[in-house]
Amino acid sequence: MADLKPAAPLGRLLTKKFFARSAHDVAPDLIGATLLVDGVGGVIVEVEAYHHTEPAAHSFNGPTPRNMVMFGPPGFLYVYRSYGIHWCMNFVCEKEGSASAVLIRAIEPTHGIPAMRRRRGMNDERMLSSGPGKLCEAMAVTNKHNGLALDAPPIAIHARTRKPDIVSGLRIGITKAVELPWRYGLKGSKFMSKPFPG
DNA sequence: CTCTTGATCTTCT
DNA sequence: GAAGATCAAGAGC
């Protein structure tokens, strides 16, 4: 069980400008990018887009203490508590007030795998960060990170160096607006929370 | 493999 | 009081 593996080539650091457009454009462009928190993380392989005009979004009913960051400017991190026990992370997109974001659902571990194993209490690489709650635990992301800039320490997001094959489909685990195909994944990745149909 | 359930925070009704 | 952008463990097939 080697902890070393070839890391993906890292492109330039993404800045807030990258997120200042529709979440439906940002989401597929994030597939293949490398997300690091305090140097620990990996390649983004699964995301979902949310927008305040559709009822599955946390921002649908207007600002609350929890979702306030979503209503702010793009390029910041929105972290929320899920089912009382997990943390989930989003990248705020578009523009101030549009309350749109991209939920990070899964990454392929490439950096700091021993730390992720320790935090998760598991050895199987496929189980370290193949889900929104799992990846936050693996990267030690909590409400303390809510509102942090995406282009400043401890967060670093490196652009992909090549455009990968991307698949899209229905979002997972929601009960409203289930028909919207706003989930994006890296084709063939074994590190997603669930495979895409087909 | 699938199905069920408990954990227990934030928001809405 | 109930539901939800979840996860892991256990039962059953």
Number of Cβ within 10 Å of residue A127's Cβ equals 17
Q: Which residue is nearest to nucleotide B12 (CA to C1')?
A: A61
Question: What is the pLDDT confidence band of residue A9, given thresholds at 50, 70 and 90?
Answer: confident
Residue A55, phi-psi category: left (phi > 0), alpha (psi -120 to 50), beta (remainder) = alpha
Q: Which residue is nearest to nucleotide C4 (CA to C1')?
A: A83
The tens digit of pLDDT for each residue in A118-169 reads 999 999 999 999 999 999 999 999 999 999 999 999 999 999 999 999 999 9
Question: What is the pLDDT confidence band of residue A5, given thresholds at 50, 70 and 90?
Answer: low
Single-letter code of the amino acid located at A87: W
Q: Is strand C less than 7 A from the beta carbon of A110?
A: no
- Residue A134: C-alpha distances to residues A3, A51, A58, A91 (Å): 19, 23, 20, 17
Q: For position A6, what pLDDT does the model report?
A: 60
Question: What is the pLDDT confidence band of residue A8, given thresholds at 50, 70 and 90?
Answer: low
- For strand C, the positions having any atom within 7 A of a protein Cβ are 3-8
Q: Which residue is nearest to nucleotide B9 (CA to C1')?
A: A84
Q: For position A4, what pLDDT does the model report?
A: 55
Question: What is the pLDDT confidence band of residue A198, given thresholds at 50, 70 and 90?
Answer: confident
Average pLDDT, chain A: 95
**Which superfamily does A16-186 belong to?**
Methylpurine-DNA glycosylase (MPG) (3.10.300.10)
* A131 CA from B7 C1′ (Å): 17
Using CA atoms, how far apart are residues A141 and A122, in angstroms rounded to an integer?
Answer: 17
Report the Cα A160 to chain-centroid distance in Å: 15
A3: pLDDT strictly greater than 60: no
Using CA atoms, how far apart are residues A91 and A96, in angstroms rounded to an integer?
Answer: 13
Distance between first and last Cα of chain A:
32
The tens digit of pLDDT for each residue in A65-110 reads 999 999 999 999 999 999 999 999 999 999 999 999 999 999 999 9
- For strand B, the positions having any atom within 7 A of a protein Cβ are 7-13
* A88 CA from B8 C1′ (Å): 16
> From residues 148-187 of A, which are strand C contacts by CB within 7 A?
171-176
Q: Is strand C less than 7 A from the beta carbon of A92?
A: no
A44: pLDDT strictly greater than 60: yes
A111: pLDDT strictly greater than 90: yes
pTM of this structure = 0.96
Q: Is strand C less than 7 A from the beta carbon of A138?
A: no
The tens digit of pLDDT for each residue in A155-175 reads 999 999 999 999 999 999 999
* A64 CA from C1 C1′ (Å): 21
